[in-house]
Amino acid sequence: MPAKPLSSEQLEDAARLDRIFLARKEADPSLTQEALAHACGWKTQGSVNQYLKGKIPLNLPAILKFAHALGVQPHDISPSLAGMLGAGEDSRAGKKATLQKIVDSFSVKPVEGEFIQIRRVRLKLSAGITGFVTDEVLDDTRPITYRKEWFIAHGYTAEKLIAVDVGGKSMWPTIDDGDTAIVNTADTKLRSGKIYAVNFNGEAVIKTLVRQNGMWFLASDNPDKRTYPNQICSDGSCIIVGRVVQAIKEF
């Protein structure tokens, strides 16, 4: 028998998931469907492709896995399925117990041995001084967790990753006001075309580094170059904090 067509609501869920995946992939080209499948604990990318393209309907365990792997909340993918997490009294004890088991398995809280939380911080910088101090942002409503396999696949060390909130429109449309940048402080090697967190004269900025005529420049992705002109990145005034490895969009 042919597969039952998805409802309009299920197709909308798939479209939201696909948009989130494409936004993550734009920020981190190494995020393939295969890598996403690995982060979700699946052996192949076949299921990922079918979920993204609306071939099979999403379910609660699937959106929880995708939410963790992509750094979003379940309701960003499927408001209706995520609503089950906040359901009130349920007379069907079996269903309630099953739902609780799912929630316990894929809670937004990091689970030792499975999920690792990235610290959300504010950077404290001084002009001309290498190094930085961070103030941790204690915000339990927006935890950023990834599966341990994600760190292994990319060669990241959890202690070297920080999450910083982005303000302003200079990096739009790549990174927008209110988005969160994941910064790998272990990666400070300059590569043209990559995005970095930079100590620019004592100010924390997120910019694309470009090499032109033997010089390094801080470039904004915003096409309005009158408002956001390139700035020379020279020793002393421009100190690399780390490379931005992923941007979490504020949907």
The tokens for 57 are 């309907």
User: What integer pLDDT is reported at residue 116 of this predicted model?
Assistant: 84
Residue 59 belongs to domain with CATH number:
1.10.260.40
* DSSP type of residue 7: P
- Residue 250: which of 155, 156, 181 has the closest Cα? 181
Distance between CA atoms of residues 204 and 206, nearest Å: 7
Which stretches of the chain are DSSP H helices? 8-27, 33-40, 46-52, 60-70, 74-77, 79-82, 93-105, 148-154
Distance between CA atoms of residues 17 and 175, nearest Å: 18
Domain that holds residue 31: 8-105
The string of DSSP letters for 31-69 reads --HHHHHHHHT-SSSHHHHHHHTTSS---HHHHHHHHHH
Same domain, residue pair 127 and 237: yes
For the chain, how long is the longest CA-to-CA vector?
A: 70
User: What integer pLDDT is reported at residue 182 of this predicted model?
Assistant: 93
In-domain check, residue 188: yes
Same domain, residue pair 91 and 124: no
Domain-terminating residue out of 80, 105, 130: 105
- Count structural domains, the chain: 2
Distance between CA atoms of residues 209 and 227, nearest Å: 18
Distance between CA atoms of residues 251 and 64, nearest Å: 17
Query: What confidence tens digit (pLDDT) does each residue in 125-156 have?
Result: 555 455 555 565 655 445 688 888 888 888 88
Contacts of 136 (CB under 8 A, 6+ apart): 119, 120, 121
Give me the residues of the chain with pLDDT under 50, please.
1-2, 87-112, 128, 140-141
In-domain check, residue 93: yes
Same domain, residue pair 93 and 138: no
Which stretches of 122-207 are DSSP H helices? 148-154
Strand order of the sheet with strand 215-219?
A: 133-136, 119-124, 161-165, 180-184, 238-248, 195-200, 203-212, 215-219, 231-232
Query: What confidence tens digit (pLDDT) does each residue in 236-246 have?
Result: 788 899 999 99
Same domain, residue pair 235 and 150: yes
Same domain, residue pair 86 and 131: no
Beta bridge partners of 135: 122
Cis peptide before 79 (omega within 30 of 0): no
